[in-house]
A and B are shown apart, each in its own frame.
Chain A
Amino acid sequence: MRKYWIWLVALAPAGVAGILALLLQGGSLPNLVLQFRADLGALLLLAGLLLSVAGLGIAALWTLARRRQERAVAGEQASAAEAHRRFIQRLDHELKNPLTAIRAGLANLDSAPGQAERQDVLVSVSAQAERLGRLAADLRKLAELEAQPLERAPVDVGELLEEAAELARQRPAAAERDLALTVPRAPWPLPAVAGDRDLLFLAVYNLLDNALKFTRAGDTVEVRAFEDGASVVVEVADTGSGIPADEILHIFDELYRGQGARGVEGSGLGLALVKAVVERHGGTVAARSRPGQGSVFTLRLPAG
């Protein structure tokens, strides 16, 4: 019934005018100026009809807008439900593999002939338990990121990048790659970003870590920063394997792993964490890639 009330309201003036006109014609309504009786009835009817036409127009527009809004909300809900379903599927997958390995290991334990074999099984089972532990820790990080109050202190992005690059250079993989860092000094140094230094460090380091993972010996990894008045922009670029166009839309989703990431160590939560950190700081992340040529990840953080 609630859906139709607007149409009733729109038609009401026409109805009221019609009844008034009829009553006037029939003489059952006392009229002070009798000679205008017919004209007044016609005028009332005309005014009522015009009002109703305008009302109907407004009602039609209103209904249309509402329906469009409903459809948009339904669409959003459907895509949120779809994203949730995909997440559960991936989580299921991430849990299944180590659990299968643990069960297989435990089944072997019974028939393991000697102490050495039993030790092998226990080492492998505890490695899987650690893997599950890391997954739980990463999921918790993500959940906390959304709930935790954010620290807001001035962060020197240039210094942060230097430290992250320094830490990355200590990785064995970095020795075989050309890792370059460019932070502008002229005409002025990068402005500070208000935020949580540890979280921003985590975001940048995760990108660097990915760049090292998805490149080979001899490849180039470049970290560069600049500002455009409103934002501090950090780019992490590499000449690695790149990301196919149909995967790049999903790489920031929780637990998503592309074809190229199969067999590469990681929980599938790194980029989701990067995105969550940057968005908590009021910034944006984006990725561009050409398969075979490499990728560039761009973090944009509000300056000041």
Chain B
Amino acid sequence: MEEKPRILLVDDEPDITSNLAPFLERAGFSVGVAADGVAALRRVADTSPDIIVLDVLMPKLDGREVCRRLRASGNWTPIIMLTRVGEATERAMTLGEGADDYLNKPFDPHELVARIQAVLRRARPGTPPLTAAHRLACGSFILDRAARRVLAAGRELPLTPRAVALLDYLMTHAGELLSRERLLDAVWGWDYPVGTRAVDMRIAELRKHLEDDPDSPRYIETVPGQGYMFIGQMEAAP
């Protein structure tokens, strides 16, 4: 029998961990719990979990600092950050820290399970995730994540900031089928009440500037009735 993936769940709210831990166990994981950042670092050193689910706002040592310290010490255990404040600032900050994914609170516990599985599938043990890279190269273009711009043949493409953020999310979740709702939640930061045309319009903007033909895509594939998937081959660029 294959061993269950081991999760370290870090949150200072006992009400959250005491409900979430049994849920994750029923979903097929073995779950350890830590109540603050200091305890989390100790548990990581003692038990080397397969993945860490990390709340951002915590006493003593917050989630962001835990992530920074682990990465600085060369530990690339996959991390999903649970954020609670708005996307814009929080998202930008998560970038330099090398978290693999993030989920806005409040979230549906089933969604957390799906994200854990996706991150575990994507992770290459011991190596930095693509989300830790500041520049990603794919085909004929480079996404400069830190500067929030896209370069093709040395020139910056005239993309709207939200289109760049969307491309960033697609590329760092390459090979994952991403529904429009999930993209709205992750990139726009809201559960948009106005339908999902907003996503389609930004995808069209990206395709136009990346010269990606929707009928035979090199980068962004439409999965009819379901969403989008990034299919380009990528590598971290210097």
A residues adjacent to B (C-beta < 8 A): 133-134, 136-137, 140-141, 143-144, 147-149, 151, 153, 163-164, 167, 196-198, 201-202, 205-206, 209
Least CB distance from A94 to B in Å reads: 16
In Å, the complex CA distance between A70 and B44 comes to 57
| A140 CB contacts on chain B under 8 angstroms | 85-86, 189-190
In Å, the complex CA distance between A209 and B194 comes to 10
A143 touches B193 (CB 8 A): no
> Which chain B residue has the least Cβ–Cβ distance from A196?
B162
Given A133-B106, A201-B194, A205-B193, decide whether A147 and B160 contact each other with a Cβ distance below 8 A.
no
In Å, the complex CA distance between A34 and B86 comes to 83
In Å, the complex CA distance between A211 and B198 comes to 22
A151 touches B162 (CB 8 A): yes
Least CB distance from A125 to B in Å reads: 13
In Å, the complex CA distance between A140 and B198 comes to 19
The B146-178 residues at the A interface (CB cut-off 8 A) are 160-162
Given A133-B106, A137-B191, A198-B188, decide whether A147 and B197 contact each other with a Cβ distance below 8 A.
no
Given A137-B191, A198-B188, A202-B192, decide whether A151 and B160 contact each other with a Cβ distance below 8 A.
yes
A sample of 16 more A-B contacts (CB under 8 A), given A137-B190, A167-B194, A197-B201, is A133-B106, A136-B106, A140-B86, A144-B86, A144-B88, A147-B86, A149-B161, A151-B160, A151-B161, A163-B197, A167-B195, A196-B162, A198-B198, A202-B192, A205-B193, A209-B193
| A206 CB contacts on chain B under 8 angstroms | 193
B194 touches A147 (CB 8 A): no
A141 touches B195 (CB 8 A): no
In Å, the complex CA distance between A286 and B86 comes to 28
B88 touches A147 (CB 8 A): yes
> Which chain B residue has the least Cβ–Cβ distance from A136?
B106
| A153 CB contacts on chain B under 8 angstroms | 160
A144 touches B189 (CB 8 A): yes
> Which chain B residue has the least Cβ–Cβ distance from A143?
B86
20 A-B interface contacts by CB (under 8 A): A133-B106, A134-B191, A140-B85, A140-B86, A140-B189, A144-B189, A144-B190, A148-B88, A149-B88, A149-B161, A153-B160, A163-B197, A164-B194, A167-B194, A167-B195, A196-B162, A197-B198, A197-B201, A202-B193, A205-B193
| B190 CB contacts on chain A under 8 angstroms | 137, 140-141, 144
Least CB distance from A139 to B in Å reads: 10
> Which chain A residue has the least Cβ–Cβ distance from B205?
A153
> Which chain A residue has the least Cβ–Cβ distance from B185?
A137
- In the complex, how many residues of chain B place their beta carbon closer than 8 angstroms to a beta carbon of chain A? 20
> Is B47 in contact with chain A by the CB < 8 A criterion?
no
> Which chain B residue has the least Cβ–Cβ distance from A163?
B197
A147 touches B89 (CB 8 A): yes
A148 touches B86 (CB 8 A): yes
In Å, the complex CA distance between A167 and B192 comes to 13
> Which chain A residue has the least Cβ–Cβ distance from B161?
A151
| B161 CB contacts on chain A under 8 angstroms | 149, 151
Least CB distance from B34 to A in Å reads: 25
In Å, the complex CA distance between A8 and B160 comes to 61
Per CB-CB distance, the 7 closest pairs between chain A and chain B, nearest first, are: A144-B86, A148-B88, A205-B194, A198-B198, A133-B106, A153-B160, A151-B161
| A201 CB contacts on chain B under 8 angstroms | 194, 198
> Which chain A residue has the least Cβ–Cβ distance from B86?
A144
Least CB distance from B32 to A in Å reads: 27
Least CB distance from A167 to B in Å reads: 5
> Is B87 in contact with chain A by the CB < 8 A criterion?
yes
| A136 CB contacts on chain B under 8 angstroms | 106
The B100-146 residues at the A interface (CB cut-off 8 A) are 106
> Which chain A residue has the least Cβ–Cβ distance from B106?
A133
In Å, the complex CA distance between A234 and B187 comes to 28
Least CB distance from B82 to A in Å reads: 14
| A133 CB contacts on chain B under 8 angstroms | 106
Least CB distance from B104 to A in Å reads: 8
| A151 CB contacts on chain B under 8 angstroms | 160-162
In Å, the complex CA distance between A107 and B163 comes to 48
In Å, the complex CA distance between A45 and B161 comes to 72
Given A144-B87, A148-B88, decide whether A167 and B160 contact each other with a Cβ distance below 8 A.
no
| B89 CB contacts on chain A under 8 angstroms | 147
Least CB distance from B188 to A in Å reads: 7
In Å, the complex CA distance between A205 and B196 comes to 13
A202 touches B194 (CB 8 A): yes
In Å, the complex CA distance between A198 and B195 comes to 11
Least CB distance from B210 to A in Å reads: 18
